[in-house]
Amino acid sequence: MLETTRTYVARITNHEQVRDDLDQCGFSASKLWNVGRYY
């Protein structure tokens, strides 16, 4: 089976405006990851 790994790089120009939303997304993703690993 062939496996492909891709890495995307992005630049955020309005970091101050989206910082809280990105933090919340990261926190939610971390919770989902931990639940998936637990089960």
Q: What is the pLDDT of residues 1-39, one digit of tens each?
A: 788 999 999 898 998 999 999 999 999 999 999 999 887
Integer Cα distance of 16 and 12 in angstroms: 9
What local confidence, expressed as pLDDT, does residue 1 receive?
A: 78
Q: Convert 7-26 to b/e letters by CB count within 10 Å (16 or more is b).
A: eeeeeeeeeeeeeeeeeeee
For residue 10, report the phi and psi dihedrals to the nearest 5 degrees: -130, 155
Integer Cα distance of 7 and 20 in angstroms: 24
Q: Please choose, from the candidates 36, 34, 31, 13, the residue with its C-alpha nearest in 3D space to the C-alpha of residue 23.
A: 31
pTM metric for this prediction: 0.55
